[in-house]
Chains A and B, each alone.
Chain A
Amino acid sequence: MSRYETVLRSRTREVVIGGSGPFCVIGERINPTGRKLFAEELRSGDLSRVGADAVTQVAAGADMLDVNAGIPLVDEPQLLQAMLRAAQDAVEAPICIDSSVVEALEAGLSVYEGKALVNSVTAEDDRLELILPLVARHGAAVVGLANDETGIPATAHERLRHVRKIVAAAADFGIGPEDVVIDPLAMTVGADTEAVTVTLETISLIASELGVNMCLGASNVSFGLPQRHALNAAFLPMAMAAGLTSAIMSTAEVCVQAVRAADLLLGHDPWGASWIAAHRARVAAEQTAAQQAPAAAP
């Protein structure tokens, strides 16, 4: 359980990360990285897939959506704005504006209606000084990555040092700890056997020392490996038990179900109300489908 509640808003809806509430699932799909066709469509000005992916992910259980416009050699600020408009028109879920380009974050924030999660700032001095004022000015919340210009620290304690620096810098700009969401950094276990162990240790340490909310790119743990969803679905409950409160992740059914099951098991879904309601909704959907296709196999 985290000590803080990070409140994010769209035009019409509010989502809370942390507190005693359920885990926040942030859909990862609206990102051209590694999606050739999507990247080409975006490049040619075809934004249709943004809205479609937004709707699919929310239907699959996403509470929020990540939107990233990182394509080499494109006008990222302009593209990100267009993508944010399309996503906001398609769904009510609040958005995590994802870019490493400051101008793109600025452009994105200027068209976002609500309170966004800005992804991300690192512990590098120049990044903190550029991005935090922007976040403060727009009344947004920010994701802080536990690394700096020297790279990603190998140990939990070194990462914690970066986290303390980010939280302190945010406070200097008037951004309270409730609006700082830390990324403890997940990396693939395929390249380093200890990678996930270090991530879990970092989550526990940050949870006990600072109690801020945390968010990471969960699918990173399975890069380069087969059967990725199964690995992601095993990782998420472990990370939640350690104190993770949100993730940018796949909305594949196994992953979302693993998260919702862990919510119940960890006491974030009192009396299993959400778990049972989801079950009823599924049964009802199956029955409707069966009635609509009476001639189908028994």
Chain B
Amino acid sequence: MTDEEILQLLYEQTLVGNAPAVTGGVNDGLEQGIPPERMLYDALIPSLEEVGARFERGDYFVPEMLIAARAMQGALDILRPLLAETGNTGVGTFLMGTVKGDVHDIGKNLCNIMLEGAGFTVIDLGVNVAPERFIEQIEAHEPDVVGFSAFLTTTMPMFKANINALEKAGLRDRVIVMVGGAPVTQEYADAVGADGYSADASSAVKKAKELIELRRSRVPA
């Protein structure tokens, strides 16, 4: 297969969530010397963006999105160490978790994938993460950004609880706080005192970069 054909295959098979074909394609691509970042930016990320767009339009349904994200995740597992080698990192560190009482992780995982694709080092704490755990992990990793994900109106108040915990631990000024999840709005993010909100994974990447730059320009190194 030509390089173009492999990239096409990666795009198409991610779109339909065929994980074995995607893993196979990535391995074939590496064998014939396609740069990892080329596979990521020219095939995998565009494919997942298309998945997101189709879901938004109502053309794609939850199971389709889940398996596409899994296929992408499989590819990233292979590519991650190689991307680190080629120096495609250093944009910043992003610590992410779904808040306490909430187990929705599809949206958060999509954000993680896109953030990693964009060069962030992502530390994922998983779901149902208590404020104490966030604090402990922020102290351990000193991330640039911490992201709280919530999908239930009943768990959204955990944003405030987490931010209060950050304040109490004296960490609030040391980390940028971003929030997201289906029921979250900019208005709500402002009300709880978060630094940033975004409605989807690609704008989450943009927003995170923007906030980090803003902060670096303010805080003298």
Contacts and interface: CB of A to CB of B under 8 A. Distances in A.
Nearest to B101: A149
Interface residues of B, number: 18
Interface string A182-196: 000000101100000
B62 interface: yes
B214 interface: no
Given A149-B101, A191-B106, A100 B62 contact: no
A286 B198 CA distance: 51
B62 A72 contact: no
A73 B106 CA distance: 25
A151 B103 contact: yes
A230 interface: no
Contacts of B128: 150-151
Contacts of B156: 72
Contact of B61 (A71, A72, A73, A226): A226
Contact of A190 (B62, B103, B183): B62
Contacts of A223: 62
Interface string A68-79: 001111000000
A191 B154 contact: no
A224 B63 contact: yes
B191 interface: yes
Contact of B188 (A33, A73, A151, A224): A73
Interface in A247-282: none
Interface string B58-71: 00011100100000
A191 B153 contact: no
A152 B183 CA distance: 21
A284 interface: no
A285 interface: no
| Dominant SS among interface residues on chain A | loop
Interface residues of A, number: 17
A234 interface: no
A59 interface: no
Given A72-B188, A73-B188, A151-B103, A191 B66 contact: yes
Contacts of B127: 151
B221 to A, nearest CB: 38
Interface string B95-134: 0000011010010000000000000000000011000000
B103 A70 contact: no
Contact of B103 (A33, A73, A152, A225): A152
Nearest to B157: A72
Contact of A224 (B62, B183, B185, B187): B62
B153 A190 contact: no
Given A71-B153, A73-B188, A191 B103 contact: no
Contacts of B154: 70, 100
Nearest to B182: A34
Interface in A8-41: 33
B61 A190 contact: yes
Contacts of A151: 103, 127-128
Contacts of A190: 61-63, 66
B61 A225 contact: yes
Interface string A130-150: 000000000000000000011
Nearest to B154: A100
B138 to A, nearest CB: 22
A132 B1 CA distance: 66
Contacts of A100: 154
Contacts of A226: 61
Nearest to B130: A149
Interface in A212-246: 223-226
Contacts of A72: 153, 156, 183, 185, 188
B56 to A, nearest CB: 13
Interface string A53-74: 0000000000000000011110
A188 B62 contact: yes
Contacts of B187: 73
A100 B102 CA distance: 14
Given A100-B154, A150-B128, A152-B103, 14 more contacts: A33-B153, A70-B154, A73-B191, A149-B101, A151-B103, A151-B128, A188-B62, A190-B61, A191-B63, A191-B66, A224-B61, A224-B62, A225-B61, A226-B61
15 contacts: A33-B183, A70-B153, A70-B154, A72-B153, A149-B100, A151-B128, A190-B62, A190-B63, A191-B106, A223-B62, A224-B61, A224-B62, A225-B61, A225-B62, A225-B63
Nearest 3 pairs between A and B by C-beta?
A224-B62, A190-B62, A100-B154
Interface of A: 33, 70-73, 100, 149-152, 188, 190-191, 223-226
